[in-house]
Amino acid sequence: KSGFVALIGRPNVGKSTLMNHLIGQKIAITSDKPQTTRNRIQTVYTDDRGQIVFLDTPGIHKAKNKLGEYMVGAAERTLKEVDVILWLVEPSSYIGAGEQYILDILKQVKIPVVLAINKIDTVEKEKVLAYIDTYRKVYPFSEIIPVSALKGANLDTVLEVLMKYL
Ligand code: GDP
Ligand code: MG
């Protein structure tokens, strides 16, 4: 199996940490060059189940200028070309403007979206269940997986689920 995954999420949610963890685990290549205007391959992950090419799509936010508009356009096109979208969020019971903006974009694409709620090592278990509930109500996610990119918790579940959609 082999396919493309768009990794989306606001700055600081833990995208790089997640990628770094995959690198430490298995054969993977990562690139963290300063962002140009295009989407880029961030990581290629391979194991005996298959290969996942993660595409970094940094333009998923409200555009403030022409370059921003171009980036958002490129990012939105990327979302239509991948096999599955992995959306990383922080644990929060509140869906902010940034998340709402992403949700509106997701509603226009018809590919599976896997939501990973990251940093669960920082919150209580019952709260995580409440966050899952909150997100379940706003979008038909293929799966919602609580994870800790830092501790490596549940990351294999994420890979397992992503592989299902390749
Ligand atoms: P990015 O901007 O989405 O690439 O986010 P980073 O991977 O750079 O992470 C931003 C900050 O969140 C860093 O200080 C990370 O150490 C921290 N972080 C990422 N994942 C976790 C996690 O699962 N738990 C905790 N406690 N911190 C995390
Ligand atoms: Mg990063």
Domain ranges within the chain, ordered by starting residue: 2-159
In order, the DSSP letters of 69-132 are: HHHHHHHHHHHHHSSEEEEEE-S-S---HHHHHHHHHHTT--S-EEEEE--GGGS-HHHHHHHH
- Closest-lying ligand to the alpha carbon of 11? 1
CATH fold for domain 2-159 = Rossmann fold (3.40.50)
What pLDDT was estimated at residue 165?
96
Question: pTM of the entire structure?
Answer: 0.91
| pLDDT, tens digit, 9 for 90 and up, residues 72-123 | 787 788 888 899 999 999 998 889 988 998 998 899 888 999 999 999 999 9
Q: Which of 57-71, 87-101, 133-147 has the lowest mean pLDDT?
A: 57-71
Pocket of ligand 1 (CB under 6 A): 9, 11-17, 118-119, 121-122, 148-150
Write down the ipTM of this complex: 0.99
What pLDDT was estimated at residue 41?
64
Mean pLDDT, the chain, rounded, equals 86
Atom of ligand 1 lying closest to residue 20 CA: 7
